[in-house]
Amino acid sequence: MGSVDHSLKRLWPFEDERSTTASGTSTPAGPQQRSEMLEPVETQTTCFGSIVDAKAQMRSSSHRVPNGSVKAFSLTQEGDYFTLEYGGHHFARLSKGLCSTFRAISITQQVHFRAFVQEKDWNVAEAPPTNFALELNVYGPKDKADEVGKILSKQHQFLQKPRYEMEGVEYYNPQLLRLNGHLEPVANEFVDLSREGLAQMASSRVEDQPNVPESTAVDSILDSLSHNVSLRSIPVDGRIKSVLLPHQKEAIDFIFQREIGTVPSELSLWRYNEIDADEPFYHHVFSGAKCPKQDETKGGIIADEMGLGKSLVVLSTVAGTLDRSENFAAQEHQALRKQSSRRIPSKATLILAPSSLLIDSWVEEIRKHTHPGGLSFHKHLGPSRHAETALLRERMIVFTTYATVATEYCRGDSPLAKIDWFRIVLDEAHDIRNRLTKQFQAVTSLSAQHRWCLTGTPIQNTLEDLGALVSFLKVPIMEKAPTFRKFIMNPISSGSTSEPRFRKLRTLLQTICLRRTRDLLKLGEPIEQTRRISFTPSEQADYDSLFQQCREEIDRVVCGRGGKKGNTNSTMLESLLRLRLFCNNGTSEAVLQKDAKGVPADPDELLTYLQQHDQNVCTYCSGVIYSINDSSKTDGGIFLSSCCHLVCRNCLPHHRAQKDGCPSCATDGSVPMLAEASSNDEFQLEGMCEPHWTEHYPSKLLRLLSDLREDPTHKSIVFSSWKKTLGVVGRLLDIHGIRFDIIDGTLSLPKRIKVLKDFRSPDGANILLMTLGTGAVGLNLAIASRVYLLEPQWNPHIESQAIGRVLRLGQTAQVVIIRYIMRNTIEESNVLSKQEKKRQLAGGGFRNGKTVQPEKLHALLNVFHVHSASKLRDA
């Protein structure tokens, strides 16, 4: 062979020793394509798809180009090159790698091409030798499709569903995965190629607009992740007896693409290097790291809004991948024989849920949607779970709770950690959003081939929430927190002008996340009503008196009078809680009753206090605690009276065996807590939740009673944070002979299931009273069509979760949501404004830290008309 003249290599792969001038006149080696921009192709022609990540280089300034937001051009072969042509003028050339590929298929396969360039990319290419992006549609006879697909695959070129297409031209992608040997080609929707239609398609993205609010930008990105162009409605396994909706079948395709490794190239975080054919590799789009093959994430986030049937998608996925899961277990078992230290392979999908009640909902879904015996399952719960290792390998699905995983992790004796799972699915995945917790560490330490997150709110507080999910998913390069912050968070917070701030966030989410809204179900918007209620004169006097007490207490803490100088944050939030409770309970005697040591006597009130600090977690395992109870047959936890820290039910035996007291108190004295409690080891519930009045009922609850009596035939759910409030509602209903059921954190799982079964029955009670901590997460209560929210929540996600129990797949009635707010109270001046702030954080999430920031403290001081800013700085 002759020697290679390396001097001919160029920095960009558009030129070689046979490059021609701008007016190139070399004889084409194949058929020329000289059709004008919108000239229809032959009727027998098929569109094989589009190459969406192509590059071209401007050779000369184009004298005349088509108008419109998307410009269409013919592609002409000139010697070894393919050029873009308009009106006989050849003004740009494709990259060397693409030209080589196109030569291979155009000579023998009768293939031709069309190029489409968006206005924003065209504006970049003002003068040669600028490079710009374009999309290339590939056309040819259908009987040549398979051969074209093979050639393109060998050249690492992958066809996607085209965005710009001609009416009447069939779309048939030869590279599509055929499941079970068959998959009918999906007919392409006609895309309007008129000037107006192209302009509409290429409209600018919201997040790229200047000065767009961060929350608006993130919402825009999330709402654009339907992937409707790249997903198909695929067949469902015969074990599933229910008929899936198209969006559910598309979600299965989204999962299959990522698990099998057929992610569309434009959605990959890796790009193939075509600069030097002697050194083929892929490079990461953010970091530039090189890899011999695409190191794709084998999982992702299903972020559909609540009520779209994510559980059925997961069950259908499990049923449709049993062959793959069994092959995985068999192959891993072979490797296990050679390495005794390896984890035991399992074909099972491990599903983690926040509570055992939610696991029961999953079991009900299996019974509802699958044929008997179609999907075997096991619940890894309770004291006997350590003796069931064989079932962890044999069942198709294993259920457990986050708290169970965290508890076993802390003890170092987890059967789950000894398994190499085929798949792990996190239900309500935002529960692991805090990287610092043992719960996050426990869940991410589990081994699995595939990892999936189910959550309607991948970003609740900050972008760190998303970073935690990315870490769990083991997204290559991005799973480490510093890397995530560098490439995703820093460009947003710094306001860099070198590129759109949110571009990398969009790129990442497009790769790993699928999100659709409830608009797909065409349920119609719920009717939302707000009852703004005024106090009676007596109630107003009591409220004003309580407000003044709170103001004086805060002033003493801020100014340091009477030895009270210190924890402004704690005092402020406690005062807000007392006023919020008054708005519901309507009598000062029933508000924040404390024992001799100053601790709230009602556990619900204390739990709410901890929720305000984001401290409603187990002191041992960091698992989130939603309710307080004293039954070993429930989820939730108890308080340690010495410090008010929480211990979940799973960790309680371990705590009682310890002699060193609370682990948090031994290591962290900074957690804001109320005064110390009595000498009992744990708070008990008996006698704590019974209010002291019987004759005068609060105005808010009387209005609720009026609403319930006006609409007695519909199934209704009444939500409140506090069991004491629901107790008052219950007595009101009893007095008026209205039947109801109630669920709170103290109810055992069998009793909760019984109550829910009664409520879902046509002959059951039409009213269900439920604490938000118990009922706002995961349950399907579509039988109801009325939701009553007795108090506004600081975290709007809690309200959304409650509404989502009713507004979901299977809902056929008009849903009505009624909120209750007391006029001229803390509910209007602070809670509602804090809700809006929380929504902004959930959308953008660009502030860190759990403590109340100085600017927020000043805002709270203004609520109480306390103006000691300089003294606050010294507090």
Radius of gyration from C-alpha coordinates of the chain = 31
CA distances in angstroms from 181 to 142, 148, 234, listed in the order given: 19, 19, 12
Confidence band of 693 (pLDDT split at 50, 70, 90): very low
CA-wise closest residue to 536 among 709, 696, 692: 696
The answer to whether the beta carbons of residues 40 and 139 sit under 8 Å apart is no
- Which residue matches tokens 């007695």? 712
List, as one string, the DSSP characters of 249-317. HHHHHHHHHHHHT---GGG-SEEE--S-TTS--EEETTT--EESS----S-EEE-PPTTS-HHHHHHHH
**Of 822 and 163, more confident:** 822
**pTM strictly above 0.75:** no
Question: Residue 779 above 80 pLDDT?
Answer: no
**Within this chain, domains 222-520 and 697-843 share the same CATH topology:** yes
pLDDT for position 875: 38
Question: Residue 874 above 50 pLDDT?
Answer: no
The answer to whether the beta carbons of residues 231 and 300 sit under 8 Å apart is no
pLDDT for position 353: 93
For the ranges 565-579, 716-730, 845-859, the lowest mean pLDDT is seen at 845-859
CA-wise closest residue to 257 among 294, 222, 221: 294
What number is the average pLDDT over the span 661-681?
46
Confidence band of 614 (pLDDT split at 50, 70, 90): low
Does the 222-520 domain belong in CATH 3.40.50.620? no
Question: Residue 757 above 60 pLDDT?
Answer: yes
Residues of the chain with pLDDT > 90, as a percent, come to: 27
pLDDT for position 517: 84
Angle at 122 between CA 121 and CA 123, to 5 degrees: 90
Q: Report the sign of the C-alpha dihedral through residues 491, 130, 64, 51, in that order.
A: negative
CA-wise closest residue to 638 among 664, 603, 676: 603
Rounded Cα gap, residues 283 and 443, in angstroms = 30
Residue 39 is given by DSSP the state P
| pLDDT one-digit tens code per residue, 835-851 | 565 555 444 333 333 34
What number is the average pLDDT over the span 419-424?
96
Average pLDDT, the chain: 76
Question: Residue 278 above 80 pLDDT?
Answer: no
Architecture field, domain 697-843: 3-Layer(aba) Sandwich (3.40)
**Of 393 and 866, more confident:** 393
CA-wise closest residue to 701 among 672, 731, 671: 731
Confidence band of 567 (pLDDT split at 50, 70, 90): low
pLDDT for position 747: 77
Question: What is the b/e burial string over 160-174, where b = at least 16 CB atoms within 10 angstroms of the residue's CB?
Answer: bbbbbbbeebebbbb
Rounded Cα gap, residues 632 and 644, in angstroms = 20
Confidence band of 400 (pLDDT split at 50, 70, 90): very high
Question: Which residues contact residue 104 at a Cβ distance below 8 angstroms, ignoring those fewer than 6 apart?
Answer: 151, 155
Q: Where are the domains of the chain?
A: 6-203, 222-520, 534-667, 697-843
| pLDDT one-digit tens code per residue, 640-660 | 766 678 888 777 767 776 666
Question: Residue 594 above 70 pLDDT?
Answer: no
pLDDT for position 9: 28
